[in-house]
A = this chain, B = another copy of it.
């Protein structure tokens, strides 16, 4: 059996053999190996740096008094930094696991997206958690920034969680039981200390003294920085950081303090990073260019030659390009594991524009197939022309008189033009173009070979792919979702030769990880899919998704269970694997006492397992996980996954029990520590605002006195669960736990329901609250968020929307529309703004309303309403989504009428002629002609019909009235009078009195639509 200490020794030996420097744990308490200067500082600057070290890492909040099988306030990391990227860091990492006896073919080892960020030290990077049979054993990150500085050279950071890994290796169910050496268990060495630390951290540490220490540490850090003393300054920042963690564990850091402390630490770290770089610069960056990691050539693996004989490894230069016809084309971008959402996104992009790109390249092609797995983005075209067609092209030259002299001799201009076009000057002709005489040349352009054309195009295709967040990994500075590691491009049997991101395209693809990522040379493009299929890889994502679902259902069926519908989870799981195999696992019945939502949330959030439900929809003590790999060693993988979920549920059980020790109301106080937004205050402040805003809105919407009382209670408790351990751990359970704990605390069920429902809809397509209380609270909460955040300048910009305000606005719209609530947004937002601690800057109200109107427009468009119809409705009814929807829908119906053009024309004539005139008062006595008198009469009749609609929309509660239908019903009878008026009356009379009377009359006609719809926005107006 491999002991804890042997595992450490082997990893150190392994990384040393790779060329890494072996460093020691740091002499200060750190939360992670990242904070050791061997990482935090050394990743900066251009110099190579490869290092490995153990780091006991202290995170007070993770303490569980040694009662959890694998969560502790101190855990041991093995930290590895590889800078620059050696090109094959994942492979090196997997070899390190082999050194420990973890063979990839026996397990399910996965790279699951994890974007790491430590605002405290101004650092972030993209990468993965590495899962071993469901257990997170390593963080693998491409560092992009540290100390607030962008890294000159991205660094690979590999952080092993040693305890969990060894626990697994030793087949123990608790870290406390693993063997440290032959004589002692881990628990024997560290358990007492763990408990003591937990007691200190949570129960006893003196807050005032910690705060005082913090200030002293910070003072010394600044002092050291003033004198340019890098590491001494860092030591004190690390102490600040640890002290902060202790304060946090004691639960006594208020919102303002927290933000301030964080900012101070971040600023200090940035200063240190800067001073460190200056120090290295003064030293002349002595390591730059020095050999770093042992540059082991990436191992060749199995090079499988499919039947094409000796040509298999030849490249395009030496090969025959067919002169005509169509052949298969393959382009594969081989990557390290793409995040699930990035994969979906990239596939959508490729599907969208690859066919067009091929068209633009003038390459005839059949169906374009776009495939992908976490490690590959593939374009496959069964039939692609090997050449562009030849083309005759006429090119316009200089004007004829400039091209030929008075005697008809070609001038130097003509000669130059001919030369530039590759034709003889005698072949130039003169043609009339756009009314002028020009010289033209006729070119006969040979089509280029597809190999050439594609060689130029493919790098641009890669570059054109964009991602929500992308990263750099090597010296080329190229950015992508994750590092690109190979490029396979074959036109039939020929390699499409190009280079990108430091790679040369070739014919070699790479098989799946469980098979050892074998390098496989493809004889031809057509071999691609069958070759990967022979390894079990299903490259077509839809086929893979179907396979996953089929397997998952089959697995669930083993226990007569069912997999609930969850398209998001299904897509994500599909995107996490290449070779799907379903495994049914189980867990102890005792955990079924936890709320079902909790059980499912844990499975989904942490493990991407499918829950298994019985016929009644009740969760069973089972789960289905989809392994990336085949049927081998299934028991091992199952066992591993079961151990993981057990630890997760033990944690959830711990939270659930802890949380119930107090009524929900008691957690409300804890909201003071949760920042909503620094300038607007804490979550407690938000709760207090809701206690005013929600009842006000409820009154607007006609709730009863009893309902209003319950609503106020619900508002007061709505956010309380955010301070419970369960929700702190899993935010997705917010509201759900609130309801749960509210009921357990004896609250009115209506209150509990409102708490849960006020988060609805969570996303587009989600359902809206069912209850009146939940509805009002949901609206109030979102209105408060919008008002508050806009007032402090936190409106979303570009793609950035950290507070989810687009979702909030869309939620308001969705609720109002679905519930057909007739309310003025202006009224609500005005009230919400009034609750804020500071008077909002001028224009805030309009900015919020315009932002919500934007969401409303999208929502209406998404319902299939034409853009001009939507615009017409919004122009007059944007403040009230329900009325706007009604107007747009009615208008859309009117537009389909045969006589619509006639009607609109007549209305338009009235509007257009008056549009640039000032407003005049209509004095009927000044109307003299019959036709105008008749129109006036018709107008008065119509005005009476739409009067309800023309009033303030906020006052018209009855949705049945005052709509477009009323307007148009009143307008249609007027049309003859309008026509007669324009036929017989000269509007622009020389007589000012007559002219103003007639204009005023038409203005009144135009104004019939005011407050209902702006027909002027319609097409054809």
The distance in angstroms between the C-alpha atoms of A192 and B45, with both chains bound, is 16
A618-660 CB contacts (< 8 Å) to partner B: none
CA distance A54 to B53 in the complex (A): 12
> Across the interface, do B181 and A283 meet the contact criterion of CB distance under 8 Å?
no
Which of chain A's residues 190-235 have a Cβ closer than 8 Å to chain B?
192-193, 196-197, 199-200, 203-206, 209, 212-213, 216-217, 219-220, 223-224, 227-232, 235
**A199-B227, A204-B229 in contact; A16/B24 too (CB < 8 A)?**
no
Of the listed stretches A4-12, A103-111, A308-316, A465-473, name the one at the interface; the rest are far from the partner chain: A4-12
In the complex, what residue of chain B is closest to A30 when comparing beta carbons? B27
Question: Is A948 an interface residue, CB under 8 A from the partner?
Answer: no
A262 CB to nearest chain B CB (Å): 22
Q: Are A290 and B183 in contact (CB under 8 A)?
A: yes
Asked whether A200 and B183 contact (CB < 8 A) given A24-B54, A188-B286, A188-B287, the answer is: no
The reply to whether B181 and A21 form a contact with Cβ atoms under 8 Å apart is yes
**Are A27 and B58 within 8 A (Cβ)?**
yes
Q: Choose from B6, B182, B232 the contact partner of A200 (Cβ within 8 Å).
A: B232
Q: How many A residues have CB within 8 A of the partner chain?
A: 63
A393 to chain B, nearest CB (A): 59
Interface flag for A248 (CB, 8 Å): no
Chain B residue at minimal CB-CB distance from A213: B216
Contacts of A200 in B (CB 8 A): 224, 227, 229, 232
Per the 8 Å Cβ criterion, residues 304-329 of A in contact with B are: none
> Is A591 part of the contact surface with B, judged by Cβ < 8 Å?
no
User: How many subunits of this chain does the assembly comprise?
Assistant: 2
A48 and B540 alpha carbons, distance in the complex (Å): 62
Cβ of A893: which chain B residues have Cβ within 8 Å of it?
none
As a 0/1 sequence over residues 62 to 78 of chain A, the CB contacts with chain B under 8 angstroms (1 = contact) are 00000000000000100
Choice from B19, B180, B224, B279 contacting A192 with Cβ under 8 Å: B279
Whether A229 contacts B196 by the Cβ 8 Å rule is yes
Whether A482 is near chain B, meaning CB under 8 Å from some CB there, is no
Cα–Cα distance between A484 and B189 once the two chains are bound (Å): 33
Within 8 A of B (CB), among A164-191: 180-184, 188-189
Assuming the contacts A28-B27, A232-B200, asked whether A291 and B183 have C-beta atoms less than 8 A apart, the reply is: yes
Contacting residues, chain B, for A286 (C-beta < 8 A): 188
When the two chains form their complex, are residues B197 and A231 in contact, meaning their CB atoms are under 8 A apart? yes
User: Which residues between 1 and 59 of chain A lie within 8 Å of chain B, taking CB atoms?
Assistant: 5-6, 8-9, 12-13, 16, 19-22, 24-30, 37, 54, 56, 58
Contact across chains for A181 and B27 when beta carbons are under 8 A apart:
no
A42 CB, nearest partner CB in chain B, Å = 9
A292 at the A/B interface (Cβ < 8 Å)? yes
Contact with A204, one of B9, B196, B206, B224 (Cβ below 8 angstroms)? B224
A997 to chain B, nearest CB (A): 87
Contact A223 B196 (CB under 8 A): no
Contact A205 B181 (CB under 8 A): no
Cross-interface CB contact of A232 among B26, B196, B283, cutoff 8 Å: B196
**In contact, A196 and B231 (Cβ under 8 angstroms):** yes
- Residues of chain B with a CB closer than 8 A to A290's CB: 183
Is there an interface contact between B216 and A212, defined as CB atoms closer than 8 Å?
Answer: yes
Nearest B residue to A229 by beta-carbon distance?
B196
Q: List residues of chain B with CB within 8 A of the CB of A20.
A: 181
Establish whether residues B22 and A181, one from each chain, have CB atoms under 8 Å apart when the complex forms: yes
Q: Are B182 and A19 in contact (CB under 8 A)?
A: yes
Instruction: Please give, as numbers and ranges, the residues of chain B lying within 8 Å of A188 by CB-CB distance.
Output: 286-287
Cα–Cα distance between A104 and B457 once the two chains are bound (Å): 70
A235, B74: Cα distance in complex, Å? 14
**B contact residues around A291 at 8 Å (CB):** 183
Contacts of A8 in B (CB 8 A): 22
**Hey, which chain B residues are within 8 Å of A184, CB to CB?**
21, 287
* B29 A192 Cβ-Cβ under 8 A: no
Q: How far, in whole Å, are A224 and B279 apart by their CA atoms in the complex? A: 40
Instruction: Return the contact of A220 from the options B5, B19, B205, B216 (Cβ within 8 A).
Output: B205
Query: Given that A196-B232, A199-B229 are known contacts, is A16 also in contact with B5, CB under 8 Å in the complex?
Result: yes
Contact B206 A223 (CB under 8 A): yes
A76 CB to closest chain B CB (Å) equals 8
Determine the distance from Cα of A287 to Cα of B16 in the docked complex, in whole angstroms.
Answer: 35
Interfacial chain B residues near A206, Cβ < 8 Å? 219-220, 223
| Residues of the B chain whose Cβ atoms lie less than 8 Å from the Cβ of A223 | 204-206
Instruction: Write the A867-907 contact mask toward B (1 if CB under 8 angstroms, else 0).
Output: 00000000000000000000000000000000000000000
CA separation between A6 and B183, bound complex, in Å? 26
Bound-state Cα–Cα, A228 to B196, Å: 8
Set of chain B residues within 8 Å of A37, measured between Cβ atoms: 193
Name the residue of chain B whose CB is nearest to the CB of A283: B192
Closest B residue, CB atoms, query A294: B182
Q: Which residue of B lies closest to A197 (CB)?
A: B232
How distant is the Cα of A681 from the Cα of B25 in the complex, in angstroms? Answer: 42
Q: Is the CB of B16 within 8 A of A9?
A: yes
In the bound complex, what is the Cα–Cα distance between A957 and B252 (angstroms)? Answer: 81
Residue of B with least CB distance to A290: B183
Once the chains bind, are A193 and B16 in contact (CB under 8 Å)?
Answer: no
Give A29 to B239 CA distance when docked, in angstroms.
12
Contacts of A6 in B (CB 8 A): 16
Which positions 230-250 of chain A face chain B at CB distance < 8 Å? 230-232, 235
Residues of B within 8 A of A228 (CB): 196
Expressed in whole angstroms, the minimum distance between the Cβ of A7 and any Cβ of chain B is 11
Using CB atoms, name the residue of chain B closest to A199: B229
List the B side residues contacting A235 at CB < 8 Å: 29
Which residues of the partner chain B approach A231 to less than 8 Å between Cβ atoms?
192-193, 196-197
A205 partner residues in chain B, CB cutoff 8 A: 220, 223
Which of B25, B30, B181, B217 meets A25, CB within 8 Å?
A: B25
Minimum CB–CB distance from A167 to chain B (whole Å) comes to 18
Chain B residue numbers with a CB within 8 Å of A219 are 206, 209
| Chain B proximity of A221: nearest CB distance (Å) | 11
Nearest B residue to A224 via CB reads: B200
Instruction: Tell me which residues across on chain B come within 8 A of A56, comparing CB atoms.
Output: 24, 27
**Could you say which of A230, A232, A292 has the most chain B C-beta atoms within 10 Å of its C-beta?**
A232
Task: Return the chain B residue nearest A8 by Cβ.
Answer: B22
**Contact status A230-B9, CB under 8 Å:** no
A196-B230 CB under 8 A given contacts A209-B216, A216-B212, A287-B188: yes
Q: A9-B13, A197-B231, A231-B197 are contacts. A26–B27 as well, Cβ < 8 Å?
A: yes
Which residues of B have CB within 8 Å of A5?
A: 16, 21-22
Chain B residues, Cβ within 8 Å of A26? 27
Q: How far is the CA of A21 from the CA of B204 in the complex (A)?
A: 32
Q: Considering the complex, which residues of chain A in the window 77-93 have a beta carbon less than 8 Å from any beta carbon of chain B? A: none
Seed contacts A9-B13, A188-B287, A213-B213; 16 additional CB < 8 Å A-B pairs = A5-B21, A8-B22, A9-B9, A19-B183, A21-B180, A24-B76, A27-B30, A27-B56, A27-B58, A192-B231, A193-B230, A199-B227, A204-B223, A206-B220, A212-B212, A212-B216
Interchain residue pairs A-B with the least CB separation, the first 5: A200-B232, A5-B22, A196-B229, A193-B231, A21-B181
List 16 A-B residue pairs with CB atoms under 8 Å apart, sorted by A's residue number.
A5-B21, A9-B13, A16-B181, A27-B28, A188-B286, A193-B230, A193-B231, A197-B231, A200-B224, A200-B227, A200-B229, A206-B223, A209-B220, A212-B212, A213-B213, A216-B216
